[in-house]
Amino acid sequence: MPSDVKTLEHMTLDLDHFLPYRLSILSNRASDAIAQHYSDRFGLSVPEWRVMAVLGQTPGMSARDVAQRTAMDKVQVSRAVASLVDARRVKREGDEADGRVTRLSLTAKGQAIYDEVVPLALHLEEVFLAALTPDERRTLNRLMDKLTDRISHLHVIPGRSE
């Protein structure tokens, strides 16, 4: 039996044209480019910055809200918040009505950092998007929405294969 009989049936995966791989590369490069700035300047980790980003936009959220909003898990949020509270960048207060929930918000110190990081993040986003025309930007957003919706609704159930 010739040794190359099986050659015919080998399907190959070209990573350069494989969407999940391309997304991963692009996403990591974009995040890293921005993270480098706020990490250098303020010693913020990615989870920390994400928490600050949502609190800057919506103060008074609970840890659970933050987790949902950022797609982080609650352990990650808990730790990021602990570290931010420690650095007096975030304030943690008990909820009036429900003793389990904590209300989170930026302190003045945290707000000052937020106010500095946001323009920088927006500037870098703008630098990235300079590669596209306004029309292309709209299209990209639309296509990403479609894909995100699609993938979110797939309900990947552990243990089931199809």
Partner DNA sequence: ACCAGATAGTTTCATATGAAACTATCACCG
Partner DNA sequence: CGGTGATAGTTTCATATGAAACTATCTGGT
- Positions touching a copy of itself (CB under 8 A) are 6, 9-15, 17-20, 22-34, 36-37, 40-41, 53-54, 56-57, 69-71, 111, 115, 118-123, 125, 127-132, 136, 139-141, 143-144, 146-152, 154, 156, 158-159, 161-162
Smaller CB separation from a copy of itself, 71 or 97? 71
Beta pairing class for 102-106 and 90-94: antiparallel
Residues that bind DNA (CB under 7 A): 45-47, 62-65, 72-79, 81-82, 92, 97-102
Which phi and psi (to 5°) does residue 116 adopt?
Answer: -90, -35
Rounded (to 5) percent helix, strand, coil in the chain: 65, 5, 30
The 8 Å CB, 24+ separation contacts for 137-145 are none
- Choose the one of DNA, a copy of itself, none that binds residue 100, judging by a C-beta under 5 to 8 angstroms depending on kind: DNA
Environment class of residue 55 by beta-carbon count within 10 Å: exposed (0-12), middle (13-18) or buried (19+)?
buried
- Choose the one of a copy of itself, DNA, none that binds residue 107, judging by a C-beta under 5 to 8 angstroms depending on kind: none
Smallest gap, in angstroms, from Cβ of residue 124 to a copy of itself?
8
